[in-house]
Amino acid sequence: MHLHFSIHYASRWGQQLFIETNHEKFAQIPLHYQADGWWQADLVVAHLPAGLQYNYVLREADGHERREAGKARALSGLKGRVVYLADSWRELHHPDSALLNTAFTEVIFRPGQVRKAKAVRSQKGLAKVRFDFLQVRVPAGLELVVLGDVPELGNWQPAEAQVLAAEHFPLWQTQILLAPGTQFSYKYALRDPETKEIVIWEQGDNRTYTVPAAADMVVKSDAYFRFAAGGWKGMGVAVPVFSLRSAQSCGIGEFMDLIPFVDWAADQGMQLVQILPINDTSSSFTWVDSYPYSAISVFALHPIYLRVDQLEVAPPKAAHQRTRTQLNALAEVDYEAVLQYKLKLARRAYDRQRSKLAKNKAFQSFVADNAHWLPAYAAFCYLRDQHATADWLRWPAADQNYDQERIDALTAPTSAAYTEIAFHYYLQYHLDKQLYAAASYARQRGIILKGDIPIGIDRESADAW
C-alpha cells in the first residue's frame, strides 16, 4: 500500500514538519515542502500494521517541537493500492481545540443516538472519498452534513446533503465515490433532521479539493466548523461544597449534596458546576483548618465531606438523627464538632469492617491505584497524630526527613502501625467513592463538575514533608 500524506501549513524559515507514528519502524517521517504552504510525504508498506496511528509535529530551527491538537489520527478502514491522506493542521490554540477534552466530548456535547458511518462499495474507475471532520460542538437536535457542487454531495441541495456519522466522535465521517481528477467545492452545515433544511452554514469560502488521478482512496480530513458567532459559551455556577447543607447531610454540605444541586443547575440550563477546593486540610483539627486553600495533600479529600450514613456500618439511627438535627440547626457550620463526630462514626465503621478489607477487591484496587500518594499521606497523618502536630519540623529527628524505606516499612500490612494507616486508606476510599458517584451523576445530567486547587501547598503538609 502506498500512503501519500499532504498537509497545508504556512511555515517560516527553519521550520520542518514531521509525521510521528506509534510504530518503531517508521516512528518519524519527514515531510517535504512543495509550494504555497503544502507539505508532502510518502510511505510504502506491504501490509498496513494494525492499530497504526499518526499525528503531525512542527520542529523549530532550535529543536523545539510543537504538536497539533487532538488525539492521534487512526490509519484504519483504508482500502486500495494508493491512498491519499489530505490532512489539515489542528491548531492547538484554536478556540475549538479547548473542547477536545472529555468534559466536552463525553458530557456537554456527547452525541445522543450515534449512527454508524455510511459504507460505500468500491467501483472500478472510481475513488472512494472519505470525509473525516473533527468537530466537538454540534448543537443538540441538529445533524452535521457536508454538501457541495457535485451530485454525490447533493449539488448544494440541503435535502440531498451527505449526513456525517459520529461513530468515532468527535470525528465525524461519511464516504462517497468520485472519479479521479474530479474537482469539487464543498461546505459543512448543520441541518434540521426533520425538515432537511440548513439551520447553520459554516462561514468563509468554500472548501475545495481535487481527487488525485492515481487515487484508489482519499481521506479528506478537516477540522472545526466555522461558526459565525465565534467560540462556544457556557453557563455555570461556583459553589463551596460546605454551603450545600441539606436535611440529608450532617452539619455541613457533603459530596452527596452535589447531586440535588446538579439537578437544579441542569434545570436552569447550566453546563458547569465549579466547587472550591475539597482537599484535606486537617492540621490542628480546629476551626483554623476550615480554610480550604491550606491543604495537607494535593490528592487527599477532606473527611468532613463524608456522608457517614453510606458507610458499611450505619450509625445508630435515633442518636444520629438527633445529632444531625442539632448540627444542621446551627446558623454556621461548627467545623470542629462536625469533623470530630464524623471521624468517630467512621472509626466505628472501620473497626467493624477492618477484618474484611483484605478481601474487599474494590478497596484493594483503590489502594493499589493510588499508591503514588496514598501511603505517604497516610504515614504523614499517622505521624501527625502520634506527635500531636502537623509541623513535621517539630517531629523527632528520625521522622523529620522523608525516607521511602521507612515509609514502606511503616505502611506495610505487617507494621504495628498498619491499623491506623489503613484507617486513612478507608476514609479516602469512601470519600473517593462518594465524590465519584456525584461526578458521574453530574455527567449523566450533562454537567461538568469542575474542581479548584490551591496555587501552592501548605508548609505543614504531606507534600512539603
Tell me the residue type at 148: G
Closest by CA to 271, choosing from 232, 241, 226, is 232
Percent of the chain beyond pLDDT 70? 100
Q: Is 14 helix (H, G, I), strand (E, B) or coil?
A: coil
Q: What is the pLDDT of residue 182?
A: 97
C-alpha cell at 346: 467512621
275 domain-assigned: yes
Same domain, residue pair 243 and 200:
no
Please state, in angstroms and rounded to a whole number, the distance separating the CA atoms of residues 197 and 186: 17
Q: Is residue 247 part of a domain?
A: yes
Final residue of a structural domain among 223, 249, 277? 223
142 and 252, same domain (yes or no): no
> Domain check: are 205 and 111 in the same one?
yes
Whether residue 249 sits in one domain with residue 216: no
Give the position of cell 488525485: 212
Q: Does the pLDDT value for residue 175 go beyond 90?
A: yes
Residue 454, pLDDT > 90, answer: no
72 and 193 in a single domain? The answer is: yes
Question: Same domain, yes or no, for 179 and 250?
Answer: no
pLDDT of residue 115: 77
Instruction: Look at residues 202, 223, 244 and tell me which one is the last residue of a structural domain.
Output: 223
Whether 309 maps to a domain, the answer reads yes
Q: How many domains does the chain divide into?
A: 2
Range of the domain at 414: 236-450
Name the burial class of residue 342, with classes exposed (0-12), middle (13-18) and buried (19+) by CB atoms within 10 angstroms of its CB.
Answer: buried
Regarding whether 245 and 215 lie in a shared domain, the answer is no
CB-facing half-sphere around the CA of 302: CA atoms within 13 A: 30
CATH number at residue 59: 2.60.40.10
Q: Is 115 within the bounds of a domain?
A: yes
CATH number for the domain including 417? 3.20.20.80
Instruction: Please report the pLDDT score of residue 118 as a whole number.
Output: 76
Residue 457: predicted pLDDT: 82
Co-location of 377 and 254 in the same domain: yes
| Confidence (pLDDT) at 455 | 77
Dist. CA 51–CA 28, nearest whole Å: 16
CA pair distance 437, 422, nearest whole angstrom: 22
- pLDDT band at 120, cuts 50/70/90? confident
Q: Are 108 and 169 in contact (CB under 8 A)?
A: no
pLDDT mean across residues, the chain = 94
Average confidence (pLDDT) over 148-171: 96
Q: pLDDT tens digits, residue range 341-363? A: 999 999 999 999 999 998 999 99
* Mean per-residue pLDDT, 142-156: 97
pLDDT of residue 459: 92
User: Residues 105, 109, 113, 118: is their CA dihedral positive or negative?
Assistant: negative
pLDDT for 244 equals 96
272/216 same-domain check: no
Based on the fold, state whether residues 219 and 272 are members of the same structural domain.
Answer: no
Q: Tell me what pLDDT residue 6 has.
A: 96
User: What pLDDT score was predicted for residue 452?
Assistant: 86
- pLDDT, residue 230, reads 75
Please indicate, yes or no, if residue 229 is contained in any of the structural domains. no
Q: Read off the pLDDT of residues 71-82 as tens digits, 9 standing for 90 and up.
A: 999 999 899 999
Taking residues 213-237, report their average pLDDT. Answer: 92
Instruction: Note the pLDDT tens digit of each residue in 260-319.
Output: 999 999 999 999 999 999 999 999 999 999 999 999 999 999 999 999 999 999 899 999
Count of beta carbons in the 10 Å neighbourhood of residue 357: 16
Please tell me what DSSP assigns to residue 270.
-
pLDDT value at 66 more than 90: yes
Residue 394 in domain: yes
User: Which residues have C-beta within 8 Å of that of residue 382, sequence separation ≥ 6?
Assistant: 410, 417, 420, 421, 424
Residues 305, 429: one domain? yes
Amino acid at position 137, single letter = R
C-alpha cell at 118: 455510511
C-alpha cell at position 138? 454540534
Does the residue 464 lie in any domain? no
What CA–CA distance (Å, rounded) separates 66 from 77? 28
Confidence of residue 88 (pLDDT cuts 50, 70, 90): very high
d(CA 413, CA 429): 17
pLDDT band (50, 70, 90) for residue 425: very high
* Stated pTM of the model: 0.85
Q: Which of 46-50, 307-311, 321-325, 407-411 has the lowest mean pLDDT?
A: 46-50
Residue 441 included in any domain: yes
Claim to verify: residue 171 and residue 267 sit in the same structural domain = no
pLDDT of residue 114: 78
Domain-ending residue, one of 173, 196, 223: 223
Mean pLDDT of 319-341: 95
